[in-house]
Structure 1
Amino acid sequence: MTPVEIPRLAPPEPAPPGPVPLARVPPGPVEPGTIPATRGALARRLAPLGEALRGLARSEAAPAGPVAARALAREEVAGLGYMLAARLAALGVMAAWVLTTLPIERSGLYFAVIAAFAALGFPPWLLARRAGAVGVAAAPFLMLDAGLLAYVLIFPDSYATEGWTPQLNLRLPSVLYVAVFLVSVSLAHSPRLVLLTGLAAIGAWTAGVLRVAEMPGSVVTTSVSALQSGASPAQMVADFLAPGAVSLTALYNQVMALGLLTLILALSVWRSRRLVRRSVGAETQRLALARYFSPELIGELEKDPGALDRPARGPAAVLFADMVGFTTICERMAPEALVAFLGEFHARLARAAFEHDGTVDKYLGDAIMVHFGTPRARPDDAARALACAGAMLREIDRWNAARAARGEAPVEIGVGLHHGEVLAGNIGDARRVEYTVLGDVVNVASRLERLCRDLDARLVVSDACVEAARAAGAEPQALVPGLVPEASRQVRGRSEPVAIWRA
């Protein structure tokens, strides 16, 4: 860190013995070539910071998914609204301070500046709301903000104390207001906007200080030149406190501080955007899982996202539910009405499945396939499957009561249910996968559903499923009222008859 005492910038020369008189730093404009050389040195010092900012901008430009992009765009627009609210609140406080501390004849100019800053806050917000995203529309206004702020802070107004100069203005901690301005821009939730505004603020502040340094009566000082000149500590202090002194070392520190603040704010916003992307991605995955699994099982899958990619064998109950007479219903309905009708039918059955922690495998036209025991087997899988089947039948009865009240035909379904060992996991190729179960249990459950029509039954359950439910401590007839044993039946694809129950 450079010393706080910051003497003049002058070409190195041998120092005479004794104190260095103040007359060695003559008042007036700086020598030609001094400020351009200083600008070059400042540019070299800021080169690493600029490269870091450009790297951050490149990383931010990486494309995001459409869902995450829309979420980030909404956050940016909302952020500009918060930034506008914060700006108006801060300006209101400043207006109250001016009104209570300054004479009324000196308040007009301050109120005009406050009004100008308030007006400049509205265009970016209005443009972003119309476009649905921040984009580059806000950048010119924020850069104009930075320039106006630097001008107001550096150059004195017409009511300033007599003898007060821009050089003296640089002694004030006015740069803190620039820092506050940069912090407010971070509310826009756009790293690119923070970077652009930060660079604009640094450029405007630097240009203002250098403009003051080129004014008549300015004496440019730096700590390095003072040490090289051999000035005494007392002379350094005198030079630094001279009315026309302009410390470029102070400018270096201010620019570095503003640059670091800009970088930290941009990194902070970039980090928050990454968290938004992850949050949106996690929510998208959760919504995708919610189409198949109950909320209780989604939590377990989030702990082990790769569980579905590892096919596993285990006991499970498989349920098929199909609408009876669907072809006849189709003939009497318009396509749009048919889609709505099927959507309501599927929603009612899926709701019953999720209420009993079932996994919705797929919709097969007017049918639904559900399994219990995936992706993790539980002792009561068969009992929950039976309870789900009973809930589906009751749900269809309630729906039919509502349809009858509207003069619509009733809906009939057939449900088949079997329990046994299955292979569960993601099936498919790299382009499309589907979580499903495979095995003889699936085939038998489908055949039992078709058997409902031959037996004039609404539900056909294998004896294996009933016994598995009893083994879990459940009473099948309590889960499905009217469930009674039926003679064994031969089903297609099975050499041995299947013992069944019906309801």
Structure 2
Amino acid sequence: MARRSISSFFEDQTYELPQKGAPEYEYTEQVLERHKREGLYLAVRARWVAMGVVSVLLLFVVPWPEVLFYEFIVAIIAFNGWLMLRIGKVGLSRAELTLLFLDLLVMTLGMVIPNPLSEHTWPQAMQYQFGNFKYFFILLAAGTLAYSWRTVIAIGTWTAGMWTIALLVGWWFADPMPALSEAAKAAFPEGDLAYFMDPTQFHFRLRIQEVVVFLLVAVTLAVSVRRFNRLLRSNAALERERTNLSRYFSPNVVEELSKNDEPLKQIRNHNIAVLFVDIVHFTEFAASRSPEEVIETLREFHGLMETAVFAHHGTLDKYLGDGLMATFGTPEPTQQDAINALNCVHAMMDALDTWNDNRIRRGLPPLRVGFGAHYGPAVLADIGANRLEFAVVGNTVNVASRLEALTRGLNARLVISDGMREEVLKEGGHACLAGLRRFEKQDIRGVEQKLTVWAFERPVEQNPSS
């Protein structure tokens, strides 16, 4: 029979975890770090509450001044929790494990060594007959809030080991006190009863039962912690996927995608609106600027455009250096995709006007931006093998790109196809067509027939370089 490690015993094959070095792994580790800190805060607070309750309880069950010794032990354990909070982190931490070991050692010694403030001369065996072992469960339960399954197992095994060693040491060095044993036999002639009532007996069978039950509980809790951590990793991966989706799709589309199983893998063919945006003569602009200024300019520009796309229920298909491509009606079509696309353009132009005004006030040159939009059929699906990308393919994309390039020759800010205009009218968007001028028989590279286009001309008073 094949041997299995403890790790494989706890392994749950239900979830595929990211491999170390992958971006998913780093993201997941960040989530685990946050979870560890939250769990550690919760564990320490639970410890303090538990120690507070225990300290009050001891006042009623332990006589004065003996109770002061146990209150001191409780205070040490509470302080040790604060130290754990200071040094706790995800992964193997020797300092943290040392504090955990110190926790268990302090509690063990506090339970098995005679109370120095007690006036009674108890037999050593009596230290094991007060039922104090149950307090270890408090530390074990608190450990499940912040630590890995391996640490929970360590708490269980260390506790069992310390308790057993203390038992053997106490038994080996204990004073037999035969007079007490004889008195117990005289008071309880029945053999078994005399044995259980004898204060000098360590009752090994009960001690073994305590240890075994504690270990079983520790293993059970470790399995629960292991499963929870794997669920946490799985949820972290889902959260990362949702975050990635939010970089491409508007929030309402992300919400819809999150409710379906792999909706992007389905190959679909339907009409969409495609928008291309590009900064005119950006190459010449970048040639005379520092790399830092170029990148900062692009970041500001892309930020404005991205905000407008998502605000109008569009999909950010890709950045194209100094431009971008956006689609409307992806991954699912709506009743006003063409209207959304044109409204998005108007919002972009308004944002660019404000941005250029600010650039002029700062002594920077304004930038001229061209927009091209077309409406028509396209194929939508995931492409790629290991690294998937949501792709929109078809002549509609090519035509939209050519229309954006046509803005140079027509001295226009926006050029749309006649088919785009007809769809806007069909959707009831007359208002967003205001200011468009018709240009017939335009040559579009890649299109055999000349097309009728509509252009939103650039104001004459506007700086030509903008």
Q: Tell me the TM-score normalized by structure 1.
A: 0.79
Q: Which shows bigger deviation, 447-456 or 257-266? A: 257-266
Aligned partner of 2:27 in structure 1 is 67
Shift of 1:216: 4.3
| Alpha carbons 2:50, 2:138 under 8 Å: kept | no
Aligned partner of 2:364 in structure 1 is 408
Which among 47, 55, 73 is matched to residue 87 of structure 1?
Answer: 47
Structure 1 stretches of 5 or more lacking a match?
1-50, 220-231
Shift of 1:349: 1.0
User: What is the letter of the counterpart of residue 450 of structure 1?
Assistant: A
Counterparts of 1:238-253 in structure 2, within 5 Å, are 238-253=194-209
Counterparts of 1:472-483 in structure 2, within 5 Å, are 472-475=427-430, 478-483=431-436
Aligned partner of 2:443 in structure 1 is 490
Shift of the 291–99 alpha-carbon distance from structure 1 to 2, 3 Å rule, reads same
Shift of 1:103: 7.0
Shift of the 304–108 alpha-carbon distance from structure 1 to 2, 3 Å rule, reads closer
Shift of 1:97: 5.6
Give me the whole-angstrom Cα distance separating, in 2, the residues matched to 1:93 and 1:139: 25
Counterparts of 1:90-101 in structure 2, within 5 Å, are 90-95=50-55
| Alpha carbons 1:483, 1:502 under 8 Å: kept | yes
| Alpha carbons 1:356, 1:388 under 8 Å: kept | yes
Q: Deviations over 1:345-371 (max 9, x none)?
A: 111111111111111111111111111
Counterparts of 1:153-302 in structure 2, within 5 Å, are 153-160=111-118, 162-214=120-172, 215-217=174-176, 234-302=190-258
| Alpha carbons 2:153, 2:218 under 8 Å: kept | yes
Counterparts of 1:460-471 in structure 2, within 5 Å, are 460-471=415-426
| Alpha carbons 1:125, 1:138 under 8 Å: kept | no
| Alpha carbons 1:77, 1:134 under 8 Å: kept | no
Aligned partner of 1:5 in structure 2 is none
| Alpha carbons 2:65, 2:117 under 8 Å: kept | no
Shift of 1:321: 0.9
Q: Which has the larger radius of gyration?
A: 1
Shift of 1:115: 4.1
User: What is the letter of the counterpart of residue 151 of structure 1?
Assistant: L
Q: Report the secondary structure of 1:321's partner residue.
A: strand
Shift of the 101–254 alpha-carbon distance from structure 1 to 2, 3 Å rule, reads closer
| Alpha carbons 1:79, 1:187 under 8 Å: kept | yes
Aligned partner of 1:453 in structure 2 is 408
Q: Deviations over 1:402-439 (max 9, x none)?
A: 222223222211111111110112223x2433222111
Give me the whole-angstrom Cα distance separating, in 2, the residues matched to 1:77 and 1:383: 48
Counterparts of 1:133-172 in structure 2, within 5 Å, are 135-160=93-118, 162-172=120-130
Shift of the 420–372 alpha-carbon distance from structure 1 to 2, 3 Å rule, reads same
Aligned partner of 2:297 in structure 1 is 341
Shift of 1:449: 0.7
Q: How many residues align?
A: 436
User: What is the letter of the counterpart of residue 358 of structure 1?
Assistant: G
Q: Report the secondary structure of 1:291's partner residue.
A: helix
Which among 351, 373, 384 is matched to residue 340 of structure 2?
Answer: 384
| Alpha carbons 1:316, 1:420 under 8 Å: kept | yes
Aligned partner of 2:352 in structure 1 is 396
User: What is the letter of the counterpart of residue 120 of structure 1?
Assistant: N
Shift of 1:250: 1.5
Q: Deviations over 1:1-22 (max 9, x none)?
A: xxxxxxxxxxxxxxxxxxxxxx
| Alpha carbons 1:75, 1:189 under 8 Å: kept | no
Give me the whole-angstrom Cα distance separating, in 1, the residues matched to 2:335 and 2:150: 55
Aligned partner of 2:270 in structure 1 is 314
Q: Tell me the TM-score normalized by structure 2.
A: 0.85
Tell me how large the CA RMSD over aligned residues is: 2.9
Aligned partner of 1:365 in structure 2 is 321
Higher relative CO (Cα under 8 Å, sequence separation at least 6) belongs to 1
Shift of 1:163: 4.4
Give me the whole-angstrom Cα distance separating, in 1, the residues matched to 2:94 and 2:120: 43
Give me the whole-angstrom Cα distance separating, in 1, the residues matched to 2:373 and 2:34: 47
Give me the whole-angstrom Cα distance separating, in 1, the residues matched to 2:206 and 2:316: 68
Aligned partner of 1:45 in structure 2 is none
| Alpha carbons 2:124, 2:175 under 8 Å: kept | no
Shift of 1:118: 3.9
Q: Report the secondary structure of 1:484's partner residue.
A: strand
Aligned partner of 1:121 in structure 2 is 81
Give me the whole-angstrom Cα distance separating, in 1, the residues matched to 2:11 and 2:240: 26
Q: Which shows bigger deviation, 65-74 or 435-444? A: 65-74
